[in-house]
């Protein structure tokens, strides 16, 4: 036989019925019956209220148990703290007319330290115990001052946030583990709006120690990469200058050595020595121009275009590499049309472009059997003048061709990969283009094409 348990509705029904019975009894039996009926109504209401109170208590206990379970089982560090002394102090200061909380505690740091010692940690969850490497919650219960190092700067920010009436507080700080190790943590909390709320502030903490270490490693790697980039840039600059001045300096050396030989003969040949020294002086002047133009080029200074005769420029370039030609037993054959139109370009840059191309052609054939010939042709049409430099060497490997004009790309074992990159920049700065014949074998042919100067450009009053 099942037991009967009245429901709240039953109590309410009895109370309502009691009121109805009381009315009927009062009409039929008089005041004594009415008093009895009212007592029945009162008993029914008391029973209903008692049932509702017991149900509310059970629900409250259930909700509290649920909150406790959520607190303990959360996968993030949770702290319950009592900040009541801080709340009282802030309210007292504001009541006393102090509204700049930051300035006040900056002038009274000992008061801030005293308040920090009064903030109490009431509870932490299991995840906090694990994160902090502690034995139990007992390692944390007590003053907040125990886990915040003297170097902590965030407590004052808490005080300022309370003083401003902020709804939330977020900050990054480091705390001391029971074993003495420091953890970098990100804290956040909902801030109370009344003194009662200061009794139980829930604080979440996220361990970001590994993240900070990773960020530090990335910064270190970026710093090292920047340093390596600077070293590479300096290396490229040095290589560029060395590449550009090597040929005229070598020519200076050859002419000075020739002058010394003429002077040291039993009967010195002064005219020949004088000519050699004149050539050395001219080479030195060209070296100075090369250095100046290279500096302007690397500093992105605008070039100084003027009408240039590419045939004459090719002849000068061939003279400048005379020592390399003799060293490698190579001949240059210049084939230029007569009456070539001029182009607008920087003459020194164009001279260096052709010197680079001719030197590359000479060096490409140094392992070839004699005779070794470099052919330089200069042709024009209605819109452009084109200089072609051809050699009979092994050619450019297919793997190198796509990046041949990029910095540090070279088909030579001892090449720096700077010359052709500089050539392309110089030629394109003059509005022209440079390219390599595709699939030519044997040898390689480089072409430089520059637009013909207009009448207005060549006119020089």
Together in a domain, 322 and 447: yes
User: For residue 135, what pLDDT is reported?
Assistant: 85
Q: Is residue 320 part of a domain?
A: yes
Together in a domain, 451 and 309: yes
Tell which of 71, 104, 121 closes a domain: 71
Together in a domain, 120 and 201: yes
First to last CA, the chain: 128
Q: Is residue 228 part of a domain?
A: no
Together in a domain, 117 and 65: no
Q: Is residue 258 part of a domain?
A: yes
Average pLDDT taken over every residue of the chain? 77
Q: Is residue 260 part of a domain?
A: yes
User: For residue 461, what pLDDT is reported?
Assistant: 42
Examine the pLDDT at 92 and tell me if it is beyond 90.
yes
Q: Which residues make beta-bridge pairs with 82?
A: 120
User: For residue 416, what pLDDT is reported?
Assistant: 47
- What's the rounded Cα separation, in Å, for the pair 86 and 91? 9
Where is pLDDT greater, at 261 or 456? 261
DSSP letters for 76-131? SEEEEEE-HHHHHHHHHHHHTT---HHHHHHH-HHHHHHHHHH-EEEEE-HHHHHH
DSSP letters for 184-243? EEEEEEEPPSSGGGGGSEEEEEEE-HHHHHHHHHHHHHHHHHHHHHHHHHHHHHHHHHHH
- What's the rounded Cα separation, in Å, for the pair 154 and 189? 13
Cβ atoms 325, 279 nearer than 8 A: no
Together in a domain, 253 and 312: no
Together in a domain, 154 and 178: yes
Q: Is residue 227 part of a domain?
A: no
User: For residue 297, what pLDDT is reported?
Assistant: 55
Query: What 3-state DSSP class applies to 248?
Result: helix
What count of other Cβ atoms lies within 10 Å of the Cβ of residue 323? 15
For 16-50, write each residue's pLDDT tens digit.
Answer: 455 454 454 554 545 555 565 555 556 555 665 66
Tell which of 191, 207, 223 closes a domain: 207
Together in a domain, 328 and 195: no
Range of the domain at 46: 8-71
Examine the pLDDT at 361 and tell me if it is beyond 50.
yes
CATH of the domain at 358: 3.30.565.10
Where is pLDDT greater, at 274 or 150? 274
Examine the pLDDT at 132 and tell me if it is beyond 80.
yes
Q: Is residue 213 part of a domain?
A: no
pTM of the predicted structure, to 2 decimals = 0.40
Together in a domain, 315 and 433: yes
Kind of pairing between the strands at 372-380 and 330-336: parallel
Task: Give the chain's largest Cα–Cα span.
Answer: 167
Together in a domain, 335 and 450: yes
State percent of the chain over pLDDT 90.
16
For 389-415, write each residue's pLDDT tens digit.
Answer: 999 888 888 888 878 777 655 555 544
Kind of pairing between the strands at 372-380 and 384-390: antiparallel
For 153-202, write each residue's pLDDT tens digit.
Answer: 678 888 889 988 899 888 887 777 878 787 888 888 999 988 999 999 99
Together in a domain, 145 and 263: no
Together in a domain, 93 and 158: yes
Together in a domain, 443 and 317: yes
CATH of the domain at 79: 3.30.450.20
For 50-82, write each residue's pLDDT tens digit.
Answer: 666 666 666 656 655 655 667 777 778 898 999
Work out how many domains the chain is built from and give that number: 4
324 is written with which tokens? 């390399």
Tell which of 275, 301, 327 closes a domain: 301
Q: Is residue 384 part of a domain?
A: yes
Model confidence band, residue 256 (pLDDT cutoffs 50, 70, 90) = confident
Model confidence band, residue 450 (pLDDT cutoffs 50, 70, 90) = very high
- What's the rounded Cα separation, in Å, for the pair 33 and 40? 11
User: For residue 258, what pLDDT is reported?
Assistant: 85
């Amino acid at each position: 036989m099942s037991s009967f348990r009245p429901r709240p509705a039953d109590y309410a029904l009895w109370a309502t019925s009691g009121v109805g019975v009381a009315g009927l009894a009062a009409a039929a039996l008089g005041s004594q019956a009415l008093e009895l009926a009212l007592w029945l109504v009162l008993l029914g209401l008391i029973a209903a209220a008692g049932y509702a109170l017991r149900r509310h208590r059970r629900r409250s206990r259930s909700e509290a148990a649920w909150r406790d379970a959520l607190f303990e089982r959360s996968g993030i560090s949770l702290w319950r703290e009592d900040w009541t002394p801080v709340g009282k102090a802030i309210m007292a200061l504001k009541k006393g007319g102090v509204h700049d909380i930051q300035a006040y505690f900056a002038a009274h740091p000992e008061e801030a330290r005293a308040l920090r010692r009064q903030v109490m940690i009431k509870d932490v969850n299991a995840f906090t115990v694990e994160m902090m490497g502690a034995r139990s919650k007992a390692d944390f219960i007590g003053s907040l001052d125990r886990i915040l190092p003297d170097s902590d700067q965030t407590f004052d920010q808490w005080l300022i946030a309370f003083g401003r009436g902020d709804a939330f507080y977020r900050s990054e700080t480091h705390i001391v583990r029971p074993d003495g190790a420091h953890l970098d943590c990100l804290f956040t909390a909902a801030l109370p709006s009344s003194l009662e709320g200061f009794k139980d502030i829930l604080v979440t903490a996220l361990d970001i120690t590994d993240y900070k270490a990773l960020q530090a490693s990335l910064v270190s790697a970026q710093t090292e990469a920047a340093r390596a980039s600077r070293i590479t840039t300096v290396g490229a600059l040095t290589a560029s200058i060395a590449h550009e001045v090597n040929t005229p300096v070598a020519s200076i050396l050859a002419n000075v050595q020739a002058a010394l030989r003429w002077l040291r003969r039993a009967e010195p040949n002064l005219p020949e020595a004088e000519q050699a020294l004149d050539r050395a002086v001219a080479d030195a002047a060209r070296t100075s121009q090369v250095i100046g133009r290279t500096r302007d080029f690397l500093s992105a200074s605008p070039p100084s275009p003027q009408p240039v005769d590419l045939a004459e420029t090719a002849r000068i370039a061939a003279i400048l590499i005379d020592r390399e030609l003799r060293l490698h037993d190579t001949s240059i054959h210049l084939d230029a049309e007569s009456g070539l139109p001029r182009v607008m370009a920087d003459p020194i840059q164009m001279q260096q472009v052709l010197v680079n191309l001719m030197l590359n052609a000479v060096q490409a054939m140094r392992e070839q059997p004699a005779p070794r010939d470099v052919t330089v042709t200069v042709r024009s049409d209605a819109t452009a003048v084109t200089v072609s430099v051809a050699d009979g060497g092994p050619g450019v490997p297919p793997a190198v061709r796509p990046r041949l004009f990029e910095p540090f790309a070279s088909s030579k074992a001892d090449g720096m990969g700077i010359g052709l990159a500089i050539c392309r920049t110089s030629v394109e700065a003059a509005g022209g283009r440079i390219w390599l014949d595709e699939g030519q074998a044997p040898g390689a042919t480089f072409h430089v094409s520059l637009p013909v100067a207009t009448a207005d450009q060549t006119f020089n009053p």
